[in-house]
């Protein structure tokens, strides 16, 4: 597949669902004139409980679609997909720039006062070799307590940002970090900033929360050359477009945005909308 110069293309962004919209929001703020396309793989969300092979396969199919639509830069607005797929994507498309999303171990090391750092992530990210290598490379002797958080993404995808059940789940995941005495916590999933007040309440007011979406967007800005012309925003989903459209209007306040359906076809030409 031939990839044109990014000076004539759009920026493709993808996530398993709505979490990557936190990155998209920053991209819109930093690049108001850019052509942006976002794909939420909500029919297959969450990625956190999927196998590494499944995550790579979905990421490959989505990237190919974004390239076909005109992407000259891909932002993987998903910690889990970055952990399990970015190396395979770079190997498949070596001429295409990719921006991944990873927990900021180095900023956390700089921020911690007592040397104990918490990391809240999906189960797949928490178990990934890429995360372990990141910690080994940058922790510099600080203790990093990693907590996989099954169940959180499902609530956020459903638009539940503050129910008693979600609060209990957040408390369950934060309790080990409190017991470990962490003073800095990384939100290691792009969904998690959407419920930042719940994390803060379950940890402590003096625990510093760090997330990554602004840094990811700024890295994309560094790699991007403005194309001129009119800005565009296209949002697609492998799930139900109306549900995502309503979620975006309710949570982000982006009203009047039309969400389109995307169907991935397998090798037999059959549409694959769900796992």
160 marked among binding-site residues:
no
Tell me if 80 is assigned to a ligand binding site.
yes
Q: How far apart are CA 91 and CA 212, in angstroms?
A: 24
| Catalytic residue annotation | 78, 189
Question: Hey, which bits of the chain come out as E strands?
Answer: 10-15, 35-40, 71-76, 98-99, 116-121, 143-148, 184-188, 208-210, 232-237, 259-261, 264-265, 271-272
* Of the candidates 233, 257, 234, the residue with the CA atom closest to the CA atom of residue 246: 257
Give the separation between CA 19 and CA 15, rounded to whole angstroms: 7
Residues sharing a CB contact under 8 Å with residue 222, sequence separation 6 or more, in sequence order: none
Beta bridge partners of 147: 120
Q: Is 192 annotated as a binding residue?
A: no
267 is in an annotated binding site: no
230 annotated ligand-binding residue: no
- Check the annotation: does 44 bind a ligand: no
Residue 12 annotated as part of some ligand binding site: no
Q: Is 191 annotated as a binding residue?
A: yes
Residues in binding site:
15-16, 47-48, 79-80, 190-191
Residues in binding site for substrate:
15-16, 47-48, 79-80, 190-191
């Amino acid at each position: 597949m031939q990839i044109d110069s990014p000076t004539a293309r759009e920026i493709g962004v993808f996530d398993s669902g709505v979490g990557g919209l936190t990155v998209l929001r920053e991209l819109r703020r930093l690049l108001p004139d850019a052509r942006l396309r976002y794909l939420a793989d909500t029919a297959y969300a969450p990625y956190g409980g999927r196998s590494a092979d499944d995550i790579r396969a979905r990421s490959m199919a989505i990237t190919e679609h974004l390239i076909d639509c005109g992407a000259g830069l891909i932002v993987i607005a998903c910690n889990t997909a970055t952990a399990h797929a970015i190396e395979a994507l770079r190997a498949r498309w070596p001429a295409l720039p990719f921006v991944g999303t990873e927990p900021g171990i180095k900023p956390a090391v700089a921020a911690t006062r007592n040397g104990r750092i918490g990391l809240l992530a999906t189960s797949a990210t928490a178990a990934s070799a890429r995360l372990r290598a990141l910690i080994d490379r940058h922790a510099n002797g600080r203790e990093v307590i990693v907590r996989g958080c099954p169940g959180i993404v499902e609530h956020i995808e459903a638009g539940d940002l503050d129910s008693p059940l979600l609060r209990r789940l957040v408390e369950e995941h934060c309790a080990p970090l409190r017991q470990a005495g962490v003073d800095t916590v990384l939100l290691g999933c792009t969904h998690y900033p959407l419920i930042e007040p719940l994390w803060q309440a379950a940890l402590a007011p003096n625990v510093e929360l760090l997330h990554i979406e602004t840094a990811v967007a700024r890295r994309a800005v560094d790699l991007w050359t403005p194309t001129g012309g009119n800005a565009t925003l296209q949002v697609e989903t492998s799930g139900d477009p109306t549900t995502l459209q309503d979620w975006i209007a309710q949570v982000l306040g982006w009203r009047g945005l039309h969400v389109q359906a995307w169907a991935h076809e397998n090798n037999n030409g059959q549409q694959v909308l769900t796992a």
